[in-house]
Structure 1
């Protein structure tokens, strides 16, 4: 995956999280055709950029908290 694709996917993950549609890493890795570790790394990069993403175990998806 090159930098441009990675950046686009990172922006897409951020949009999904804001809209409440960011599901579990297992489901996202099937959608992006990459490893679960890559998805977790991307979420980690979003957190480093100041996005407050948390995993809601009840709803089984990631959400952006304020």
Structure 2
């Protein structure tokens, strides 16, 4: 996601074009199966450590 956003910013692309490309990536990041699984696991963790870790590290896989 970050790389895609930086690319569009560097290219000074039209904002609509940028949103069309980045929108689906953002939706998947927030609402995809991986995100739902992580959120459920964090909610079930009574210690709060998993939620804190996810918050600290971010939700985006490093390869995206």
What is the TM-score of this pair, normalised by structure 2?
A: 0.31
Structure with larger Rg = 2
User: Normalising to structure 1: TM-score of the pair?
Assistant: 0.31
Structure in which a larger fraction of residues adopt strand: 1
Higher helix share: 2
